[in-house]
Structure 1
Amino acid sequence: MLAQAPLDFLPQRLLPWLPQLMRPVLPLLLRLQAGLVGVEADHLERLVAAIGRFQRGEARLLVAFRHPQTSDPFCYSALLWDLLPRSARAQGQPLRTFVHSHFLYDRGIPLWAGSTVAWLFTRLGGSSIQRGKLDLKGLRAARQLMLDGEYPLAAAPEGATNGLSDVLSPLEPGVAQIAFWAVEDLAQAGRTEAVELVPLGIRYHYVEPIGPAADRVLSGLERACGLPVPPPGPAAASAPGVAGAEEAQLAALYPRLAAVADWLLQRLERFYRQAHRALLEGEGPITPENRGERLRHLLEAALAVSETQLGLIAKGSLNDRCRRIEQAGWDCIYRPETRDRQALSAVELGLADRLATDAERALWHMRLVESFVAVSGTHVREKPCADRFGETLQILFSLVHRLTGDGAMLKVPRLGLRRAQISVGEPIDVSARRDAYRAGRQGAVASLTQDLSVALQGLMEP
């Protein structure tokens, strides 16, 4: 790993024609890039009304959307560019202009997605933000977009994907803070617009059986772990009390999924005990009752390795710790003095590269944890269904390929075609909370964040 120049803020440079150019090809992108055969939405009248108020100059609008998977941006584009205008016309309330939104995105995305994605995000009206630090440029840009942006602003309050449609990660307070800043900025400017916060939920559902594909992926994971691979044959015809061939096949595959997960958990426990002297409780068999606790202890131990190597003190939730570790690692890799590598002596350059290499190694442990912060260990058993089974299997696939060095960003296999379901929540009037914000800013932000969390949790119900 070479030391590199600091990560610059990437401001939005919206090309108004670009979203309209992409709109006709969006269904193809949904199918090819995300494996989606369609996007549906309910309670669209709520968002139609909120967008209408924004376009008439009656309100500023902040959209807080669930972000469980990397395919979410395609779905929200379909919502704005297609579903919403059609719903508005059907309601007899056609919107005045093309529906689009500015959006905030993690500055780290272009590091793994590439320069093309960085160009596309900025030209679609996206503004970058660094999650684990006080990103003043990013926050100022977000504040300005809320005040004067041509379109509403959208942001993901979870901060990162967790891979699970029906598990909400703890929300970060930034979205609520941006909403309150807009209330104050409007008042200071003598403007009368209200500030509204609209929650959006999203779930994914398989529309075709995933059993055969899940069997193949599981067989590959079993081989990678050195576990016995059952011979091919009719799956789960003997599973009693389960209705339907698909349910029966998944019921038969579940013990194999659990066996792979438990084997990985035990091997990683052994790794951290041996390589990093981690004091992990419980060395006996893993059971459904202790699996979640064992997993949590393992994640704590892995983050402790990153924190020790980067000189950090453990504080806050697993998500909070991941963000601080990421930023500390970036501070070692992306350094001001390496803007011009040729200006450094050979020794200075060698030391800078060594620091970056050590930081990248420390970040490896955090990345291991990042995909599992929302995993309970009992997710599939609590509610057996194709959606939960498929998402959990894909998380395990990513873990195995990270451990085997096959590439953290290796494309996760698709198990079958899916359909996305977006749910629009009731708008939250943030302006009505101005007095509470002035009386106690931290408490008001925490209260709004909690109300937003409850709203998003409710939108995740089938």
Structure 2
Amino acid sequence: MTVILDRPYQFIPPNRNDLWPAFIQKFRIFDYYLRKKEGVVSYDCRNIERLKQSIASGAGVLLAPNHCRYADPLVLGWCSRHSGRHVYAMASWHLFNNGWFDAFAINRMGGFSIFREGSDRQALETAIEILVEAHRALILFPEGTTNRTNDALKPLLEGVTFIARTASRRRHKKDGGKTVVHPVAIKYLSVDKIDDWANAQLSQIESQLGWQKPVSLPLLGRTLRVVEALLALREVEYFGKSRTGPLPARRDELIEHLLSSTEQRMKLENAVSDANESNVRARVRVIRSEVHTRWFSRNPNDQEKRALRGDLAAADLAQELFSYPDNYLQEETVTDMRLVETIQRMQETLFGKADSSIPLHAVIEVDESINVPAEKAPRGVEDPILTSIRESLTALLENLSGEARPVA
């Protein structure tokens, strides 16, 4: 669960001492962490000169990367190394609650917290201030959360352009300086062929499901077989029986059931309507926010706490199911890394942690800068800056997806 119920939210500001990130870079500490914890053993920074030019111009620089793995913020440390400029990064509050070492390391490397389940003015003001100061670049992930679908970009959050435009106005008023956004595409590639690793991981999942009969399916068919089995288990859990039909339709039906039943129990129909009923992420956010509010403001008894934990689990499952995009494992376009991502996502569901023993190569590609005007965004339409970020990331990722191995 990403909502922390052990203690109420408290903003964690970034550590502004440059000695810590310099120390971490000098001794390649995050390189070691990426190898050991995430399996990222090598990298390639492309078009880094574009970022260097923006830094040299004195602009406030916002890096807007896609977000498909937990490794992404650390991988961008290589961008920082080659550009010669340290970075700050906005990080979800729950990441600061995964142990004292992680909290310490994230903060010393420039991370500061954001409360995703509610309004967090301190985090927004800190991000704006960083861009106005232009002392370091700022990393904001427009997708908001990680999704393990490297080739599919999730809907982007408007908060990124709100921060950028507000900073641009303040910077222009302060000294006439400018603010720019660099879309950054991160693509992970398997160093070796995945067959041995993938078959071993699928065997582990199949064993967990109680399957004993060996299978002679190709790797794609075997993966899809496990995906359907896990969906069927969830259907039995929430519907009482498994269903039939195409997997995307069954997924959507389960998502709707999870969200609507939770909204009804919590009497959130009106709040959800205001948050846009068609947006799964918005509905999940409303549920999470309400769970947090009731937990810390209404002194619930043990029975209600159990119910709230169930509501939170349902919302988390809905978001997890939403992260399985249509046609991602389509036979004509499936790649080895799409299979790796799917297997690792299933492992996180079953075991709470994905196997990271498969060595990965990270490609980090910086796109041209997008100038942020000082004017407010036009009303009634999507912010043109957000459109530009989406188009840039989509094009970069589409191109990079071709570097993965096709599945025979």
Question: Under a length normalisation based on structure 2, what TM-score does the superposition of the two structures give?
Answer: 0.88
Mapped to 2, the partners of 1:391 and 1:256 lie a distance apart of 15
Structure 1 Cα separation of the partners of residues 295 and 314 of structure 2: 16
Are 1:392 and 2:342 matched, yes or no? yes
1:203 aligns with 2:187: yes
The one of 243, 262, 269 equivalent to 2:228 is 262
Q: Which residue of 1 aligns with 2:389?
A: 452
* Cα separation, 2, equivalents of 1:3 and 1:387: 35
Aligned ranges for residues 8-407 of structure 1 at < 5 Å? 8-23=10-25, 24-25=27-28, 26-54=30-58, 59-81=59-81, 83-85=82-84, 99-111=85-97, 113-148=98-133, 150-189=135-174, 191-230=175-214, 252-274=218-240, 283-284=243-244, 286=245, 290-313=246-269, 314=272, 315-335=277-297, 351-382=300-331, 383-401=333-351
Q: Summarize the Cα distance change of 1:15–1:229 in structure 2 as closer, same or farther, 3 Å threshold.
A: farther
Letter in 2 for 1:429: N
Q: Secondary structure at the match of 1:268?
A: helix
* Residue 427 to residue 117, structure 1, CA distance change in 2 (3 Å): same
Looking at structure 2, the residues matched to 63 and 3 of structure 1 have their Cα atoms a distance apart, in angstroms, of 31
The whole-number CA distance in structure 1 between the counterparts of 2:127 and 2:278 is 25
Structure number, greater radius of gyration = 1
Q: What amino acid sits opposite 2:229 in the alignment?
A: W
Residues 389, 31 of structure 1: alpha-carbon distance in 2 compared, 3 angstrom cutoff: same
Cα gap change, 1:451/1:48 in structure 2, threshold over 3 Å: closer, same or farther? Answer: same
Distance in 2 separating the partners of 1:53 and 1:209? 43
The 3-state SS of whatever aligns with 1:380 is coil
Query: Once superposed, what is the RMSD of the aligned Cα atoms?
Result: 2.4
How many Å apart are 1:454 and its aligned residue? 1.0
Change (3 A) 1:4 1:333: farther
With 376-385 and 193-202 compared, the bigger mean Cα shift is at 376-385
Aligned to 2:405: none
Give, in whole Å, the separation in 1 of the partners of 2:256 and 2:268: 14
The two structures have a TM-score, normalised by structure 1, of: 0.78
Mapped to 2, the partners of 1:141 and 1:355 lie a distance apart of 36
Residues 302 and 228 from structure 1, CA distance in 2 versus in 1: closer, same or farther, beyond 3 angstroms? farther
Letter in structure 1 aligned against 2:261: V
Q: Secondary structure at the match of 2:252?
A: helix
Percent identity for Structure 1 against Structure 2: 23
Q: Is the 8 A contact 2:144 2:157 kept in 1?
A: yes
Structure 1 residue 229 displacement after superposition: 3.7
The answer to whether the 8 Å contact 1:167/1:374 transfers is: no
Cα distance in 1 between the residues matched to 2:222 and 2:265: 36
One-letter code aligned to 2:66: R
SS for the counterpart of 1:102 is strand
Query: What is the deviation of 1:459?
Result: 1.5
Give the 3 Å change call, closer, same or farther, for CA 104–442 of structure 1 in structure 2. farther
Residue among 339, 351, 354 paired with 1:412? 354
Equivalent in the alignment of 1:246: none
Q: Is the 8 A contact 1:163 1:371 kept in 2?
A: no
Q: Is the 8 A contact 1:305 1:365 kept in 2?
A: no
The Cα of 1:2 is off from its aligned counterpart by 11
- Give structure 2 stretches of 5+ with no counterpart: 401-408
Q: Structure 1's 84 and 309: CA in aligned 2 closer, same or farther, altered over 3 A?
A: same
May I ask how many residue pairs the two structures share in their alignment?
A: 388
